[in-house]
C-alpha cells in the first residue's frame, strides 16, 4: 500500500514531465496541476489507479488536429487563421465540448479546456467524452458574411473529424447560435446528411434543444444555490457580482433574478457596469445579443442607477456571491482578497478556470464556498447531451422537461462532489470532490477498456 505522500511524489514527477513534454502551454499546465494535486487520496486508496500508464494516458489527448483556415474578408483580402480540435478522451462516450473563436486561442488553451471537459462531462453522468476546439479568429467587428465564410472554411476541414458517434462540438466564447448555424449548414452540404446530433446549440426548429442557451448560466446558479443550502442559506435577497456579458453571464443574471437575488454587475474587456437596481436584462440582451455592442452602452442608456467603470474588475464591488462568467484567470489573488474583505459567502465558476490557483486557495482558506467550473458550469454541456438524446430520438422536449432534468443533474453533481470530498477527507472542498468523482468515472472506464 502506497502512502498519500508517496503517491503525491509520483504525481509531482508526472507534473514535471507534463511541463517538459508540453512546453509553452501554461493554461494546460495549470489545469493539469489543479487536477493532479487533488488525486493523491484516491490513488493511494485504490491501487488499481496507481497502475503504470493510467494517469499518463489521461493527460495525453487521444488525437489533436491543427489546420489552416483560409477565408476572404469583405474587401476580398485573404486571411489565414489556425483551427484546432483536441479529442482528449472518449472512454465514456463521443468527444464532446465547445469551439472557442477568440484571438487568445492556441493549442495550450484548447488543451486546458479539453482536459477540464473530460471531468466535467464525466460528472454529468451522461455518457460523453471530452474534447475542445476553436480558432484564433476574432469575430468582433466582422460582418455576418465574413463570419459565415470563416465558419464554412473551418468546417470544410473539421467535418472529416466529427460525427454524432465520434465527436460533437458546440459553442464556447465567440461561438453562439449564428456560428453553429453556419457550421451546421456547411457540414450538411459537404456530407449530404441530416445528422442533427453532430453539433449542439442548434437553433430551435432545426434540432436545437430548448433551454440550451440558458443552461450554463442557469446551472451555475442552481449549483450556487445548492452550496448555500448546504450552509443553511438560500439565494433570496443576496447581492451577486457577475463578470462577463455573453451567454453565460446573461442567463446567470436571469436565474439569479428569478430566484430572488440581486445581480448588480456585468463586464467585458473594456471594463464593468455596476447597477444598484439590478441589471436590466432586456437592455443587456438588446446591446449584447442584437447590437453586438459593448457594456458601456448599457450604462449610457440605463440612467442614474448604473455606472460604467473603465478598466476595472467587478470583484471590487461588495457582494454576497461572485459568479465569474467571462474567461480563464479573470479572478486573481488580489480580487479574492477584495471579495473576502467584503464578506463574500460563495464563489461559483460559470466560466472555465476563471479563478487562479492562488485565489482558489485564499477563498477556501477563508471558508468561502467555492464551486469549481467543472462542476458548477456543467449544465451547458449536460443540456447539450440532452439535445443529442432528443436528436437521436427525433423528438423535442418541452422547456419544463429540460429544465427539470437540468435541475436534477446540477443537484446530483453537487451531491456527488460534496460526498466525494467528505469520503476522501476534504469536507466542503468541492475542487477535490469534483476532480476525484470525475476521475473515478473516467479511470474506471479506461481500466475496463484496456491499454488503448
Which spans of this chain sit near ligand GLU (rule: CB under 6 A)?
96-98, 170, 172, 200, 352, 380-381, 384
How far apart are CB 308 and ligand GLU at their closest, in Å?
28
> Residue 350, Cβ neighbours under 10 Å: how many?
31
How far apart are CB 48 and ligand GLU at their closest, in Å?
29
Host H or E run for residue 65: strand 63-72
Nearer to ligand GLU, 131 or 433 (CB): 131
Query: Hunting for cell 459565415 — which residue is that?
Result: 148
Nearer to ligand GLU, 44 or 168 (CB): 168
How far, in Å, CA of 164 to CA of 196, rounded? 8
Nearer to ligand GLU, 8 or 216 (CB): 216
Nearer to ligand GLU, 96 or 142 (CB): 96
DSSP 202: P
C-alpha cell at 65: 488536429
Q: Are 209 and 390 in contact (CB under 8 A)?
A: yes
How far apart are CB 160 and ligand GLU at their closest, in Å?
19
Phi/psi at 40 (5° precision): -50, -45
How far, in Å, CA of 223 to CA of 375, rounded? 8
Residue 86's DSSP bridge partners are 64, 132
How far, in Å, CA of 244 to CA of 187, rounded? 31
Query: Hunting for cell 442614474 — which residue is that?
Result: 304
Nearer to ligand GLU, 8 or 327 (CB): 327
Instruction: Give the SS3 label for residue 151.
Output: helix
How far apart are CB 213 and ligand GLU at their closest, in Å?
11
Nearer to ligand GLU, 274 or 417 (CB): 417
Host H or E run for residue 338: helix 333-341
Nearer to ligand GLU, 121 or 262 (CB): 121
Q: Are 212 and 201 in contact (CB under 8 A)?
A: yes
Q: Are 377 and 221 in contact (CB under 8 A)?
A: no
Nearer to ligand GLU, 18 or 375 (CB): 375
- Establish whether 202 is a catalytic residue: no
> Residue 17, Cβ neighbours under 10 Å: how many?
12
**Catalytic choice (120, 132, 288, 374):** 132
How far apart are CB 362 and ligand GLU at their closest, in Å?
25
How far, in Å, CA of 126 to CA of 139, rounded? 32
CA 427 to chain centre: 24
| Cα-based distances in Å from 274 to 131, 157, 310 | 36, 43, 11
Using Cβ positions, the residue closest to ligand GLU within the complex turns out to be: 98
Q: Are 375 and 435 in contact (CB under 8 A)?
A: no
DSSP structure string for 306-352 = EEEEET--GGGS--SEEE--S-TT-B-HHHHHHHHHTT--EEE-SSS
How far apart are CB 47 and ligand GLU at their closest, in Å?
32
How far apart are CB 363 and ligand GLU at their closest, in Å?
21
Contacts of 211 (CB under 8 A, 6+ apart): 218, 383, 399, 402, 403, 406
How far apart are CB 166 and ligand GLU at their closest, in Å?
14
C-alpha cell at 22: 508540453
Instruction: Give the SS3 label for residue 362.
Output: helix
Q: Which residues are catalytic?
A: 132
Amino acid at each position: 500500500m502506497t502512502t498519500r505522500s508517496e503517491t503525491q511524489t509520483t504525481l509531482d514527477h508526472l507534473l514535471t514531465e507534463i511541463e517538459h513534454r508540453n512546453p509553452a502551454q501554461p493554461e494546460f499546465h495549470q489545469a493539469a496541476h489543479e487536477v493532479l494535486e487533488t488525486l493523491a487520496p484516491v490513488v493511494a486508496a485504490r491501487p488499481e489507479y496507481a497502475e503504470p500508464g493510467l494517469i499518463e494516458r489521461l493527460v495525453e489527448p487521444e488525437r489533436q488536429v491543427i489546420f489552416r483556415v483560409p477565408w476572404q474578408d469583405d474587401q476580398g483580402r485573404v486571411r489565414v487563421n489556425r483551427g484546432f480540435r483536441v479529442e482528449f478522451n472518449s472512454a465514456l462516450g463521443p468527444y464532446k465540448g465547445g469551439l472557442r473563436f477568440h484571438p487568445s486561442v492556441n493549442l495550450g488553451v484548447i488543451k486546458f479546456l479539453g482536459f477540464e471537459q473530460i471531468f466535467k462531462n464525466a460528472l454529468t453522468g451522461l455518457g460523453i467524452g471530452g474534447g475542445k476546439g476553436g480558432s484564433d479568429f476574432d469575430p468582433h467587428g466582422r460582418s455576418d458574411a465574413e463570419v459565415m465564410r470563416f465558419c464554412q472554411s473551418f468546417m470544410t476541414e473539421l467535418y472529416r473529424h466529427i460525427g454524432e458517434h465520434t465527436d460533437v462540438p458546440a459553442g464556447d466564447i465567440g461561438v453562439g447560435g449564428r456560428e453553429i448555424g453556419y457550421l451546421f449548414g456547411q457540414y450538411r452540404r459537404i456530407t449530404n446528411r441530416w445528422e442533427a446530433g453532430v453539433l449542439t446549440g442548434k437553433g430551435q426548429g432545426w434540432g436545437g434543444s430548448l433551454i440550451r442557451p440558458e443552461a450554463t448560466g442557469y446551472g451555475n446558479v442552481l449549483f450556487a444555490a445548492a452550496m448555500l443550502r448546504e450552509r443553511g442559506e438560500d439565494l433570496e435577497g443576496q447581492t451577486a457580482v457577475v463578470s462577463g456579458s455573453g451567454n453565460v453571464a446573461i442567463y446567470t443574471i436571469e436565474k439569479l433574478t428569478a430566484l430572488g437575488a440581486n445581480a448588480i454587475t456585468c463586464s467585458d474587456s473594456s471594463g464593468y457596469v455596476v447597477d444598484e437596481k439590478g441589471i436590466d436584462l432586456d437592455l443587456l440582451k438588446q446591446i449584447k445579443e442584437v447590437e453586438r455592442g459593448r457594456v458601456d452602452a448599457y450604462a449610457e442608456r440605463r440612467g442614474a442607477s448604473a455606472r460604467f467603470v473603465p478598466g476595472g474588475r467587478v470583484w471590487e464591488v461588495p457582494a454576497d456571491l461572485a459568479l465569474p462568467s467571462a474567461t480563464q484567470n479573470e479572478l486573481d489573488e488580489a480580487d479574492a482578497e477584495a471579495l473576502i474583505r467584503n464578506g463574500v459567502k460563495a464563489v461559483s465558476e460559470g466560466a472555465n478556470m476563471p479563478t487562479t490557483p492562488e485565489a482558489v486557495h485564499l477563498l477556501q482558506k477563508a471558508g468561502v464556498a467555492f464551486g469549481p467550473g467543472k462542476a458548477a458550469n456543467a449544465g451547458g454541456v449536460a443540456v447539450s447531451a440532452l439535445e443529442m438524446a432528443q436528436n437521436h430520438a427525433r423528438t423535442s422536449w418541452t422547456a419544463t422537461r429540460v429544465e427539470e432534468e437540468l435541475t436534477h443533474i446540477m443537484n446530483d453533481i453537487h451531491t456527488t462532489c460534496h460526498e466525494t470530498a467528505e469520503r476522501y477527507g476534504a469536507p466542503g472542498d468541492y475542487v477535490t470532490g469534483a476532480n476525484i468523482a470525475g476521475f473515478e468515472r473516467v479511470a474506471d472506464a479506461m481500466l475496463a477498456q484496456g491499454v488503448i
